[in-house]
Structure 1
């Protein structure tokens, strides 16, 4: 099953992780790939860990990425990157948003947000750090950071030739289409 590629998208509820995975899946399906996607929502309404696993290739038998099986780990929040790092292949890459969302224990004062996360990620894996929230805000709205990270994913997985504009236009609310198209294009420039 060498032809199967695995992308793990992780974040915190409310960041648009699942929408980004859905857009990726729809684009891959339209391009003729066999695609399997699975989601874990946890307490994803706001603040809980969220993960989406997208596997694609000629024939995909399982939607689940095993430990050490992800070609690409895309993290919308930096602590989540560290939490899911064991799923990355030794030769895999990490794209991490330099963004913090304090967990409930941190907010209550029972714990501190760990320091040095980005340094640890860079020491343990091939890591690209982006400030997706600031870049999306600069493009017109911080809510587009998920599609900006999707753009980085598309570039790193060599999927630029697919019709992503069509996928965005068909699956994003009309008032956000242009912003998301700009974010998608800009995200590709951050990693290549």
Structure 2
């Protein structure tokens, strides 16, 4: 790999954005990449935005991704995808969970949730994969595995299937959740 890859994870507090980033980072480290990760919790405990930036390659000096430089954005919630779209580079790839979480201003009626988000994203981005990761995870047994479904889709986009991701997850996720996450990862890679 000659050029570094910039991955931006965006979601809402409680969706598992940081866990997915940690699994990715650990796997990349084990595979021999230089990796830097940075996370931002914006009122995450109250349903606020969470972003994680992961950069990997031969040599990485900073974990920060500037606007227009993300090779891939993985959005755990579709309005977060729209909000972070300026970070995606031209020709970059967008993986979106077709899922809505209403922020407090929407819940109290002060604002409206954006309409036709998926259609707008499809018009703005050539390389886009929209999947219902939440439903896929729920069908597997627990909606909380949506993060690993999305991680699986990302690994497919990056062609990183050669890493033993199940082994990586085994050291990170709780033992009682391992089988579910193993299925979720496979589901996302096949989506």
Which TM-score bucket, shorter chain as reference?
over 0.9
Q: Residues 38 and 64 of structure 1 are in contact (CA less than 8 Å); yes or no, is this contact kept in structure 2?
A: yes
Q: Which residue of structure 1 lines up, in the alignment, with residue 57 of structure 2? A: 57
Q: 2: distance between equivalents of 1:72 and 1:128?
A: 11
What corresponds to 2:150 in structure 1?
149
Determine if the alignment matches structure 1 residue 113 to structure 2 residue 118: no
TM-score, normalised relative to structure 1:
0.97
Q: Tell me how far apart the structure 2 counterparts of residues 127 and 81 of structure 1 sit (CA, whole Å).
A: 11
- Determine the C-alpha separation between the residues in 2 that align with 1:67 and 1:129: 22
Cross-structure match for 2:163: 162
1:46 CA displacement: 3.4
Give the distance between the partners of 2:112 and 2:2, measured in 1 at CA.
41
The answer to whether the 8 Å contact 1:14/1:46 transfers is: no
Q: How does 1:1-192 map to 2 (within 5 A)?
A: 3-125=3-125, 126-190=127-191
Q: Which runs of 5 or more residues in structure 1 are unaligned?
A: none
Give the length in aligned residue pairs.
190
Once residues 170 and 2 of structure 2 are traced to their aligned partners in structure 1, the CA distance between those partners, rounded to angstroms, is 32
Indicate if the aligned counterparts of 1:76 and 1:99 stay in contact, CA closer than 8 A.
yes
> How far off its partner does 1:77 sit?
0.2
* Structural RMSD (CA): 1.0
Calculate the TM-score normalised by the size of structure 2: 0.97
| Kept in 1: contact 2:141–2:180 (CA 8 A) | yes
3-state DSSP of counterpart to 1:24: helix
Aligned to 1:147, the other structure's residue is in SS state: helix
Contact 1:152 1:187 in 2 (8 A): yes
